Chains A and B, each alone.
Chain A
């Protein structure tokens, strides 16, 4: 503390001020007559962020439990859930089927023989058609 600060402190203490008995009584009486003001409006206590997280999680958990219970109660007893086929869920593109109206050849002889027979049958049919149309 420097000289000026010391002198300021000392000079402040030289100021003689004393609370008189009369002032003391006055202040005491005033304080007894006054009631402290209450804060305006009740302050809502700030809740920590963890409280809101915990309440949100509790809400979500309760909702999940309700969904599970509701589903298990609404399913008829003894009905098994359908088996899911192990196929690709992607629908296959189906090619249009053509109805050939043919009969499968009864292959009873060697292939070359069969081919010859078929060709002669085809030739006979061709000639018959030509005759029918007058060629």
Chain B
């Protein structure tokens, strides 16, 4: 979950705060947990909300300070020859579609669990996962073509 929050927050400290808030909220409101859901789905739903809350709070308080230097994802990605796909995903997808893509491919969640976590319909999730794949494919092909042309 901390990995996911690192992709959603402006700094490592924010991601840690979001994780802490998520666990506290889950513990406090445990009585409202519906056992028909997977526990991880419920936790992710809280985490997504907390990450959004922290980001919007930062924007209101300090303006948009997101820059490459403080970007936790850039600092936490191990060096590799190719650009990490999640960096591309974050660039080309909007917040909800990025979250849906993460829950699907990093957490192996089902479509219905993703829909519950994001409070969206199943059809929205299916359509946007397909669009995300297309967007990522296009971006990767564009990069590959560019590097071949450059090379």
Q: Which of A26-34, A53-61, A65-73, A107-115 contacts B (4 or more CB under 8 A)?
A: A26-34
Q: CB within 8 Å of B: which of A9-62?
A: 9, 11-12, 14-20, 23, 26-27, 30-31, 34-39
Q: Is the CB of B31 within 8 A of A12?
A: no
How far apart are the CA atoms of A36 and B32 in the complex, in Å?
11
What's the dominant secondary structure at chain B's contact region? helix
The residues of B that contact A36 with a CB separation of less than 8 Å are 27-31
The residues of A that contact B142 with a CB separation of less than 8 Å are none
Say whether A94 faces chain B, with CB atoms less than 8 Å apart.
no
Q: Given the known A-B contacts A8-B106, A23-B20, are A15 and B27 also in contact in the complex, defined by CB atoms under 8 Å?
A: no
Nearest B residue to A19 via CB reads: B2
Taking a contact as CB atoms closer than 8 A, the residue among B6, B16, B20, B84 that contacts A11 in the complex is B84
Q: Given the known A-B contacts A5-B105, A15-B73, A27-B23, are A38 and B16 also in contact in the complex, defined by CB atoms under 8 Å?
A: no
How far apart are the CA atoms of A9 and B102 in the complex, in Å?
9
Say whether A77 faces chain B, with CB atoms less than 8 Å apart.
no
Question: B64-91: contact bitstring with A at CB < 8 Å (1 yes, 0 no)?
Answer: 0000000001001110100011100100
How far apart are the CA atoms of A4 and B77 in the complex, in Å?
18
Q: Which residues of A contact B (CB under 8 A)?
A: 4-5, 7-9, 11-12, 14-20, 23, 26-27, 30-31, 34-39
Q: Could you list some 5 contacts between A and B, CB below 8 A?
A: A7-B85, A15-B7, A17-B6, A23-B16, A34-B24
